[in-house]
């Protein structure tokens, strides 16, 4: 909980600063920290009530995500309101989908083999641009080359799906202009 509130304090200070661009590295960890902080607050409230037989939860049920969701959305929209560029780095995780298992007769969650960003699921609705970056080894030059794919662009659809080699802020902005 202390880590989350320290992060929020730093973020608010950055929003009030002259810096045009803010970076959260990583959004995956910030989102996890938000949920864990809320869980800790909930656990502390349960302990404070002293209700006999009341079990202390070890994880946050899906139905309790409303407040952490709202807190995280406030970060995203706070940056927009202050006209800041907000860059959020995310880890990737496997995308899952429900598939019918003929042996069991049940639906089960199965990894698709497609990567997706790991973080607050509503980030794309607030994002102007989402860029998926990878590194590929070139055996001819024996160098690792950065690649970027614009997976979402709310500013102009003409660049959605665009692949860039060694993308930079400027090379992305040139494509959008």
Tokens of 10: 């730093």
- Position 50 pLDDT exceeds 80: no
Note the pLDDT of residue 3: 96
**What mean pLDDT do residues 90-109 have?**
92
DSSP string covering 8-60, please? HHHHHHHHHSS-SEEEEE-HHHHHHHHHHHHHHHHHHHHHHHT-TTPPPPSS-
Least confident among 3-7, 51-55, 143-147: 51-55
The pLDDT confidence band at residue 163, using thresholds 50, 70 and 90, is: very high
Contact yes or no for 144/137 (Cβ under 8 A): yes
- Position 54 pLDDT exceeds 90: no
Q: What is the mean pLDDT of the chain?
A: 91
**Percent share of the chain, pLDDT over 90:** 56
Closest Cα partner for 111 from 100, 101, 97, 99?
A: 97
The whole-model pTM stands at: 0.81
- Position 71 pLDDT exceeds 90: yes
The pLDDT confidence band at residue 99, using thresholds 50, 70 and 90, is: very high
- Position 35 pLDDT exceeds 90: yes
**Beta-strand (E) ranges in the chain?**
21-25, 85-89, 91-101, 106-118, 129-138, 143-153, 163-165
Note the pLDDT of residue 10: 96
pLDDT digits (tens, 9 = 90+) for 112-162: 999 988 988 888 888 888 999 999 888 998 999 899 999 998 888 899 999
Contact yes or no for 176/160 (Cβ under 8 A): no
Helix axes 27-49 and 2-16, enclosed angle (nearest 10): 130
């Amino acid at each position: 909980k202390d880590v989350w509130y320290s992060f929020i304090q730093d973020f608010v200070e950055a929003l009030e600063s002259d810096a045009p661009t803010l970076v959260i590295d990583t959004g995956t960890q910030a989102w996890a920290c938000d949920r864990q902080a809320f869980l800790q607050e909930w656990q502390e409230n349960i302990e404070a009530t002293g209700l006999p037989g009341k079990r202390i939860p070890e994880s946050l049920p899906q139905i309790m995500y409303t407040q952490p969701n709202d807190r995280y959305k406030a970060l995203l929209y706070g940056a927009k309101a202050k006209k800041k560029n907000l860059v959020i780095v995310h880890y990737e995780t496997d995308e899952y989908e429900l598939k019918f298992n003929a042996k069991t007769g049940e639906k089960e969650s199965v990894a698709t083999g497609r990567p997706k960003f790991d973080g607050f699921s509503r980030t794309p609705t607030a994002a102007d641009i989402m860029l998926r970056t990878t590194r590929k080894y070139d055996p001819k030059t024996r160098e690792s080359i950065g690649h970027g794919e614009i997976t979402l662009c709310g500013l102009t659809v003409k660049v959605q799906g665009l692949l860039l080699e060694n993308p930079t802020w400027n090379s992305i902005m040139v494509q959008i202009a």
